[in-house]
């Protein structure tokens, strides 16, 4: 029996939208996006979540990492102890060891490539202006260790003399879309997360980067003992990297198994893949 790192039970979420009706009175429409959803993510594995546009995948991630509240249910994060995530703030959840990436590019544009890596630490040392001011020695030492670590992380994937390290002082906004996505993934290594949620890591990325992304994901799981939970539309990529796969439809998980099994499921074929 495989170990579980994330266990979601009976999770529901509805959005309330106001719509204009013919009689010019605002009416309120309730859309239940997630309906008593149950889901388990195994520890040390890559788990994929697939489903149609607007099926609530990103919303699920937003609830897990604390950006959104749920209407009911429970989300247990099992990392040594069992933590209930619902009701916790995003930074608290991050500190427990759960990280994420975004569907659209989130990067610190005006920070350099290296600073983008350095800022992603869980430690709060140097956060207050006073410590920064009065403890420069200790500050520098930590900074040096983290710089070394950033270098190792980048070289593990791209070898020495790579583009990212050579351009480490350049602002991140000067990178291409694909490079920024990669930087976003590399940055996750800096933070000692145990579980990372990746929202469509390959979307909008040139296929030339697919191999690097695959390497990064495998390294997260094999070398760094992280568990990965990712949303993906590219089924070829899912088959290649994922150990497990869940299919979300009508607000709950309708098929689970290995990627091959889920792709063969008639419901998945009819409602999502379309063949």
Partner 1 sequence: MLLQLLINGIVNGAIYALVALGFAIVYNTTRIFHIAYAVIYMVAPYFVYTFFDKLGFNIWISAILAIILTIVVSLVMELIVYKPLSKKNSSGNVIMISSIGLMIIAINLVALFYGNDTKILHRDISDSIRFGQLIITYSQLLQFGGSLLLITGFIFFLKFSKFGIKTRAMRDDEPLCRVFALDTFRFRNYLFALSAVFAGTGGILVAWDVGMDPYVGMPMLLNAIVALIIGGVGKFHAPIVGGFIIGILQSVVIWKFSANWMEGVTFTLLILFLVFRPQGLFGEKQRLV
Ligand X SMILES: Nc1ncnc2c1ncn2[C@@H]1O[C@H](COP(=O)(O)OP(=O)(O)OP(=O)(O)O)[C@@H](O)[C@H]1O
Instruction: Indicate which single residue of 5, 37, 46, 56 sits in contact with ligand X (rule: CB under 6 A).
Output: 56
Residue 58 binds Mg ion (CB under 5 A) = yes
Residue 103 binds Mg ion (CB under 5 A) = yes
Within a 10 A sphere around the Cβ of 79, how many other Cβ atoms?
16
Asked whether 222 and 152 are in contact (CB, 8 A), the reply is: no
Instruction: Indicate which single residue of 57, 146, 194, 246 sits in contact with ligand X (rule: CB under 6 A).
Output: 57
Q: How far is the CA of 235 from the CAs of 9, 17, 62, 126, 242, in angstroms?
A: 26, 32, 23, 43, 10
Minimum CB–partner distance for residue 204 and ligand X (Å): 12
Cα angle vertex 139, ends 135, 144, to 5°?
A: 155
DSSP characters over 255-268: EEESHHHHHH-HHH
* Region near partner 1 per CB under 8 A, out of 1-9, 20-28, 45-53, 121-129: 121-129
Q: At what angle do helices 177-189 and 136-158 cross, to 10 degrees?
A: 120
Report the residue number, 190 or 248, with the smaller CB distance to partner 1: 190
Residue 4 binds ligand X (CB under 6 A) = no
Residue 53 binds ligand X (CB under 6 A) = yes
How far the first Cα of the chain sits from its last, in Å, is: 34
Q: Where are the alpha helices (DSSP H) in the chain?
A: 57-64, 90-96, 113-118, 129-134, 136-158, 163-166, 177-189, 210-222, 235-241, 259-264, 266-268
Residue 14 binds partner 1 (CB under 8 A) = no
**What is the three-state SS of 150-170?**
HHHHHHHHHCCCCHHHHCCCC
What residues form DSSP beta bridges with 68? Answer: none
Residue 54 binds ligand X (CB under 6 A) = yes
Q: Binding-site residue total for partner 1 (CB under 8 A)?
A: 35
Minimum CB–partner distance for residue 193 and partner 1 (Å): 9
Asked whether 172 and 135 are in contact (CB, 8 A), the reply is: no
Residue 58 binds ligand X (CB under 6 A) = yes
Q: Which does 15 bind (CB under 5 to 8 A by kind): Mg ion, partner 1, ligand X, none?
A: ligand X
Residue owning tokens 């039970």: 9
Residue 87 binds ligand X (CB under 6 A) = no
Q: Which does 59 bind (CB under 5 to 8 A by kind): partner 1, ligand X, Mg ion, none?
A: ligand X
Residue 126 binds partner 1 (CB under 8 A) = yes
Alpha-carbon distance of 274 to 64, in angstroms, equals 29
* Region near ligand X per CB under 6 A, out of 56-64, 72-80, 111-119, 158-166: 56-64
Q: Which does 95 bind (CB under 5 to 8 A by kind): ligand X, Mg ion, partner 1, none?
A: partner 1
Report the residue number, 71 or 123, with the smaller CB distance to partner 1: 123
Minimum CB–partner distance for residue 227 and partner 1 (Å): 17
- Residues forming the site for ligand X (CB under 6 A): 15, 33, 51, 53-59, 103
Q: Which residues bind partner 1 (CB under 8 A)?
A: 65, 67, 89-91, 94-95, 99-100, 102, 106-111, 115, 118-122, 124-129, 131-133, 139, 143, 187, 191
């Amino acid at each position: 029996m495989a170990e579980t790192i994330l266990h979601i039970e009976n999770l529901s979420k509805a959005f309330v939208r106001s719509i204009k009706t013919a009689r010019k009175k605002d009416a309120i429409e309730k859309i239940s996006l997630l309906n008593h959803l149950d889901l388990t993510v195994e520890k040390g594995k890559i788990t994929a979540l697939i489903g149609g546009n607007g099926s609530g995948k990103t919303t699920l991630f937003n609830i897990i990492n604390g950006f959104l509240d749920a209407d009911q249910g429970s989300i247990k994060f099992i990392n040594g102890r069992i933590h209930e995530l619902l009701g916790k703030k995003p930074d608290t959840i991050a500190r427990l060891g759960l990280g994420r990436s975004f569907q659209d590019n989130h990067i610190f544009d005006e920070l350099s490539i290296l600073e983008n890596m350095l800022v992603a630490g869980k430690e709060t040392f140097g956060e207050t202006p006073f410590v920064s001011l009065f403890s420069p020695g200790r500050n520098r030492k930590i900074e040096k260790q983290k710089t070394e670590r950033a270098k190792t992380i980048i070289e593990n994937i791209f070898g020495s003399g790579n583009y990212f390290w050579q351009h480490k002082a350049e602002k991140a906004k000067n990178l291409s879309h694909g490079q920024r996505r990669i930087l976003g993934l590399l940055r996750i290594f800096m933070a000692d997360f145990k579980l990372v949620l990746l929202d469509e890591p390959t979307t909008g990325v040139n296929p030339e980067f697919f191999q690097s992304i695959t390497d990064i994901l495998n390294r997260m799981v094999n070398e760094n003992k992280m568990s990965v939970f990712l949303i993906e539309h590219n089924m070829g990529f899912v088959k290649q990297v994922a150990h497990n796969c869940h299919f979300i439809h009508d607000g709950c998980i309708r098929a689970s198994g290995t990627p091959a099994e889920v792709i063969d499921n008639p419901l998945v074929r009819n409602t999502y893949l379309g063949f």
